[in-house]
Amino acid sequence: MVELLGEAGLPDATRRAKQYPHEFSGGMRQRALIAIGLAARPKLLIADEPTPALDVTVQQQILTHLDHLTAELGVVESGPAMEILLNPPHPYTQRLVASAPSLASQRMRSSLIRTQVKVEAVETAQEVARETILEDALPGEMLKKSLPDNVIVVENLTKVFKIRGGAPGSSSSFKAVDNVSFALKRGTTTAIVGESGSGKSTVAQMVPRLLPPTEGSVFFDGHDISQYRGRELLALRRRMQPIFQNPYGSLDPMYSIYRTIEEPLRTHKVGNKKSRDKKVRQLLDKVSLSATAMRRFPNELPGGQRQRVAIARALALDPEVVICDEAVSALDVLVQAQVLTLLNDLQAELV
């Protein structure tokens, strides 16, 4: 079993095998699934988008590994990857490759004409990355004082988890986040980039205090939120909303789409029934879903539409900050492009 986990690209498999799914990052869970798929050395492996939730280095590792296995077991492959990336014959593949966010595929296709939107998106991302790097170079105190329009300042955030040991009652600790500092300027996007398991989701959960940090502080609008309790925390959550990685797991299957989007408004006692109804319709329109979607349930909608619902819900309270934890990685690349464009437009519109 440890060997299979190693094969699927999970480092430190011996220790990891003792853990539970909720203690794994999204990418690590996917690798556990791949290990299950490979366990009995099947003659035919049906892979339904097994890697989009993983970061590119792990994607490559797994695809290479599957490639080796198919070669070993003598299965015939069709279509060299370069050929398909550079010169896709089918129109769907053409659009697919054009929307692929991976930098490797971008570079390979650099000779191809890219759509204007795509180029702009890449340039914006690069600008944002440059800004962030500059700000990161400043020490934590200066970050806060020199830039008053910082809506969030994170200082020396650290998280240590306990990992269950072999013997009952024994455990070891694991540093998932090590001394992270950054600032988020109002009206801009800050991206945290790192390999699967490097602690991105843990940071995303500590910033809105869904998870308490072991060390370090988070400032929202200049206030240290580490001492916030009850009412203060509720007020904070109203101003800072998350969109999670997996739209299949983050929506309540028993709630209609209407109730899903209305819930934050009700929790925070915003408006009356009539005004909330109006707001839900506006939100659906904003994320390009028809009003008829209101009466449906999450399981009746494909992933892309579910993630739009999650976005509508996150925007219901007009938050000042939206935290997206790989909000599009579970979606296919065409829908990814749509959702990212939508978030970009909304940012420009709502600032």
Q: Does 213 bind ligand ADP (CB under 6 A)?
A: no
- Binding of residue 25 to Mg ion (CB under 5 A): yes
Measuring CA to CA, which residue among 50, 75, 316, 324 is closest to residue 204?
324
Q: Does 23 bind ligand ADP (CB under 6 A)?
A: yes
305 contributes a contact to Mg ion by CB under 5 A? no
- The distance of closest approach from Cβ of residue 19 to ligand ADP in the complex, given in angstroms and rounded to an integer, is 7
Can residue 246 be called a binding residue for Mg ion (CB under 5 A)?
A: no
* Region 115-174 residues binding ligand ADP, contact defined as CB under 6 A: 161, 163, 174
214 forms part of the interface with ligand ADP (CB under 6 A): no
Among 244, 241, 207, which Cα is nearest to 328's? 244
Best CA proximity match to 346, nearest among 316, 303, 315: 315
Q: Measured from the CB of residue 211, what is the shortest distance to ligand ADP in angstroms?
A: 8
Residue 79, phi-psi category: left (phi > 0), alpha (psi -120 to 50), beta (remainder): left
d(CA 67, CA 73): 10
| Gap between the Cα atoms of 251 and 237, Å rounded | 18
338 lines the binding site for Mg ion (CB under 5 A): no
Question: Per rule CB under 6 A, is residue 246 in the interface with ligand ADP?
Answer: no
Stretch that binds ligand ADP, among 80-88, 189-197, 216-224, 269-277 (CB under 6 A): 189-197
Residue 218 CB burial class (10 angstroms; 0-12, 13-18, ≥19): buried
Kindly state the smallest distance separating residue 246's Cβ from Mg ion, in Å. 10
Rg (the chain; Cα; Å): 22
Residue of 150, 202, 246, 307 that binds ligand ADP (CB under 6 A)? 202
**Cβ atoms of residues 257 and 298 within 8 Å:** yes
Three-state secondary-structure class, residue 334: helix
199 makes contact, choosing from ligand ADP, Mg ion, none, with CB < 5 to 8 Å by partner type, with ligand ADP
Nearer to Mg ion, 25 or 305 (CB): 25
Residue 294 or 331 having the CB closest to ligand ADP: 331
Interacting partner of 122 out of ligand ADP, Mg ion, none (Cβ under 5 to 8 A depending on kind): none
**Shortest Å, Cβ 200 to Mg ion:** 5
Question: How many residues sit close enough to ligand ADP to count as binding (CB under 6 A)?
Answer: 17
29 binds, among Mg ion, ligand ADP, none (CB under 5 to 8 A by kind): none
| 25 scored as a contact of ligand ADP (CB under 6 A) | yes
Residue 193 three-state SS: coil
Q: Look at residue 236 and give the partner it binds from ligand ADP, Mg ion, none, a contact being a CB closer than 5 to 8 Å depending on partner kind.
A: none
* HEC secondary structure over 41-76: CCCCCCCCCCCCCCCHHHHHHHHHHHHHHHHHHCCC
Q: Helix, strand, coil proportions of the chain in percent (round to 5)?
A: 50, 15, 35
Could you say whether residue 24 binds ligand ADP (CB under 6 A)?
Answer: yes
- Is residue 52 within the footprint of ligand ADP (CB under 6 A)? no
* Nearest residue relative to Mg ion (C-beta): 201
Q: Shortest distance, CB of residue 307 to ligand ADP, whole angstroms?
A: 17
What torsion, rounded to 10 degrees, do the Cα atoms 311, 317, 319, 323 define?
Answer: -30
In angstroms, rounded to a whole number, what is the distance separating the alpha carbons of residues 328 and 74? 35
Only one residue has tokens 């959702």, namely 339
Site for Mg ion in 175-234 (CB under 5 A): 200-201
* Separation CA 101–CA 117 (nearest Å): 12
Name the residues that contact ligand ADP, by CB under 6 A: 23-25, 27-28, 161, 163, 174, 176, 194, 196-202
Tell me which residues touch Mg ion (CB under 5 A): 25-26, 200-201
